[in-house]
Structure 1
Amino acid sequence: MAALWRARHPSVPPFAHTFRTTYPDVWVRFHSLPGSKRYPESEDEYAIVLHRYNTVLDELFAGREVYVVTADWSTTPTGPGRYPLRQRLHPDGVRWWIESEEDDPDSEFHIHSRFYAALRPWQHGCADALLRAVADDTLAEVFVTDTELRRIHVPYDGGADVLLTTPAERDALRARHPDWLPRNSAGL
């Protein structure tokens, strides 16, 4: 998977928060609640969030295998990870990438990010526990991608960034969900 990532995305490590700016020509953002509300406050609102996430995920991946990717980080290369929730919600994730940021001369400020992937058949709702944690901003750097690493769904607290294979595919997905789009001209 790491070799395929380097071949498909040579300019960027798998930090989900960077995809939007790295691939603006195939990127679209959807908000997860009406009125661009950021955080759900009731079970009805969680249902809307999960419906929106799963609708787009189904359109991208129904009937296919996907990688579900999560991350954690620490100040040492081997951990312990900062997010025990990640391990609890994604126990089948296998570490496939480590990205170290060691620019600071003080090793206490070095950050080592570890990415974990699990291959699974996409089924509506199969990632709901992870998606709910993302919606609550208790888990970050989660994404779902096809096995070719071409289509990527990046949920975040407030919505999802989606990378498609072409601008035309992006525009078609955008056109299917106009009420979920941000209202500002930057698409944020």
Structure 2
Amino acid sequence: MRFHSLPESKRYPDTEDEWAIVLGRYNTVLDELFAGLDVHVATMDWSGTPVPPERPHEQTRWHPGAHHWTSVLTDPEPGDPVYTHVYVSRMPWERGCIDTLLRAVADDATAGVLITDVGLRRIHHPYDGGADVILATSAERDRLRARHSDWLSAHPAGL
């Protein structure tokens, strides 16, 4: 299911009050999914080589303690391949513990972020404008959707 970060599906925050709403919505859902649990946080970088280059400073600031997990050829264009390099960390979930990263995502400064429980039963994928959430059961999804129905898109497809 998809939640929007701001009322009326506004994509980007302009004021500190709107930033508080964005981070509040991200953290509320993350708390409901992961309170008391360890989580894996995955971030991604892209390059034209199978061996990842040194991570940009801002990525290490947004996702401290991450280590390279794997690299995957995601676009095999001859002469111009693209590799996705995945970096992962594990931490106990605490509200606000990844706010720097969430703020970078909401500001469209980074993408490809996933937060999941260590059993991979729940996945939270924040993006600029909202978050997609994948849950283990439709009943769990329906309960979360009901609690935050005012954060859902008015679009018939839920987008």
TM-score (norm 1): 0.81
Unaligned runs of 5+ in 1: 1-27
Of 91-100 and 49-58, deviating more is 91-100
AA at the equivalent of 1:175: A
Which residue of the other structure, out of 53, 73, 86, is the alignment partner of 2:26? 53
Q: What is the aligned partner in structure 2 of residue 62 from structure 1?
A: 35
Q: Alpha carbons of 1:54 and 1:46: their partners in 2 closer, same or farther (altered >3 Å)? A: same
2-structure distance, mates of 1:92, 1:82 = 12
2-structure distance, mates of 1:163, 1:81 = 31
1-structure distance, mates of 2:46, 2:155 = 33
RMSD: 1.3
Q: What is the aligned partner in structure 1 of residue 7 from structure 2?
A: 34
Alpha-carbon shift at residue 83 of structure 1 (Å)? 4.8
Q: What is the aligned partner in structure 2 of residue 93 from structure 1?
A: 66
% identical aligned pairs: 58
2-structure distance, mates of 1:71, 1:159 = 18
Unaligned runs of 5+ in 2: none
Secondary structure in structure 2 of the residue aligned to 1:137:
coil
Alpha-carbon shift at residue 82 of structure 1 (Å)? 7.3
Q: What is the aligned partner in structure 2 of residue 156 from structure 1?
A: 127
2-structure distance, mates of 1:90, 1:170 = 28
Is 1:187–2:158 an aligned residue pair?
yes
Secondary structure in structure 2 of the residue aligned to 1:96:
strand
Alpha-carbon shift at residue 102 of structure 1 (Å)? 5.1
Q: Which has the higher strand share?
A: 2
Q: Which has the higher helix share?
A: 1
The aligned length equals 159
Which residue of the other structure, out of 96, 103, 112, is the alignment partner of 1:132? 103
Which residue of the other structure, out of 16, 21, 27, is the alignment partner of 1:43? 16
TM-score (norm 2): 0.95
